[in-house]
């Protein structure tokens, strides 16, 4: 029997394990992919308080090592469901079931990719899915942002303060994001809109060198020379498995606010998988701490 079963081994999940173990609880982290989550693919992390610079993989491994040294257990398995048996919640995997007194969902998200040639190969070498994480590495350079929603608009605005030129590429002739953000971008001299165009291919040997774009109105291809590409075409939460257990919003994110409480007593949500405005390492770690302490309080209340 585990006190806290944590589904997902990213920053939020591992932080939850650290706080749970320090509170004297028995925790287990069940991860279906790679411990560390998305940040492991980032070559440099320079926005985490107290750490000037560290690679994403090193940051993740340090966090995992800390949790395990405190006694947290880990298991590589794909979670296929949660079964509620009253005071006990059972995490179900193909090989085994894990009875827990409480559960923290920390499943994270995956960034929607463009699905074009060389995108995967050049990820971390000019291709990024987080402007606030990696924008500083492109100071004084020309970059492109791909997308038409609020995230793309905010990314372009953020990057315009550091980059010599920001191209905002959108497949339609109008943006889906808020008009106020579009208006601010129009007033910036170093921001240029490329509308009704799609990315056809990324080109570069060891780093991004240029994009091959397709003009949807003329059907012709053209080149755009940039040093970086920031993809902002949406995020995909990995919560489908739990749709019958906790309430999700229309985008598939777990409905939970800053207290990390879900619609189901004893089940908490932490990190990028929940409804929130800011998705960063710091907010993931904060969620992990909040969710673990909320789980501890729930366990204490149940035993009264």
Cβ atoms of 103 and 4 within 8 Å: the answer is: yes
Signed CA dihedral, 292, 104, 237, 67: sign only: positive
133 as an active site residue: the answer is: yes
- Write the CB contacts of 221 (distance below 8 Å, at least 6 apart in sequence): 200, 212, 213, 214, 215
d(CA 124, CA 135): 12
d(CA 122, CA 206): 7
173 as an active site residue: the answer is: no
Q: Within 13 A of 27's CA, how many CA atoms are on the CB side? A: 34
d(CA 155, CA 133): 11
Compute CA distances 168 → 123, 124, 235, whole Å: 19, 20, 18
Catalytic residue among 3, 65, 84, 133: 133
Q: Tokens for 54?
A: 């560290």
DSSP strand pairing (142-146 vs 228-231):
parallel
Q: Within 13 A of 92's CA, how many CA atoms are on the CB side? A: 9
d(CA 233, CA 159): 16
The beta strand positions in 62-164, using DSSP E, are 73-76, 81-85, 88-92, 97-105, 109-111, 127-128, 142-146
134 as an active site residue: the answer is: yes
Catalytic residue among 130, 163, 260, 296: 130
Catalytic residue among 134, 155, 272, 287: 134
Closest CA to 191 of 229, 163, 213: 163
Q: Which residues are annotated as catalytic?
A: 130, 133-134
């Amino acid at each position: 029997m585990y006190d806290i079963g944590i589904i997902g081994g990213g920053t939020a999940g591992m932080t939850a394990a650290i706080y749970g173990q320090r509170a004297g609880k028995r925790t287990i982290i069940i991860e279906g992919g790679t411990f560390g989550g998305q940040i492991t693919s980032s070559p440099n992390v320079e926005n985490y308080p107290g750490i000037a610079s560290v690679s994403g993989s090193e940051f993740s491994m340090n966090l995992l090592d800390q949790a395990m040294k405190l006694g947290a257990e880990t298991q590589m398995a794909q979670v296929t469901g949660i079964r509620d048996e009253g005071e006990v919640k059972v995490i179900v995997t193909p090989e085994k079931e894990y009875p827990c007194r409480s559960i923290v969902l920390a499943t994270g998200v995956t960034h929607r990719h463009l699905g074009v040639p060389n995108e995967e190969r050049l990820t971390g070498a000019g291709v990024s899915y987080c402007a606030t994480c990696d924008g500083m590495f492109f100071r004084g350079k020309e970059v492109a942002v791909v997308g038409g929603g609020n995230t793309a608009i905010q990314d372009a605005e953020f990057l315009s303060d550091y980059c010599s030129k920001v191209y905002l590429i959108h497949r339609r002739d109008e943006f889906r994001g808020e008009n106020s953000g579009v208006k601010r971008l129009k007033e910036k001299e170093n921001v240029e809109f490329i509308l009704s165009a799609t990315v056809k291919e990324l080109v570069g040997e060891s780093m991004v060198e240029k994009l091959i774009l397709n003009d949807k109105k003329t059907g012709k291809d053209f080149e755009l020379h940039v040093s970086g590409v920031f993809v902002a075409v949406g995020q995909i939460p990995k919560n489908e498995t739990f749709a019958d257990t906790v309430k999700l919003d229309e985008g598939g994110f777990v409905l939970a606010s800053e207290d990390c409480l879900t619609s189901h007593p004893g089940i908490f949500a932490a990190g990028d998988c929940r409804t929130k405005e800011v998705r960063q390492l710091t907010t993931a770690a904060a969620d992990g701490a909040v969710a673990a302490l909320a789980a501890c309080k729930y366990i204490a209340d149940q035993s009264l």
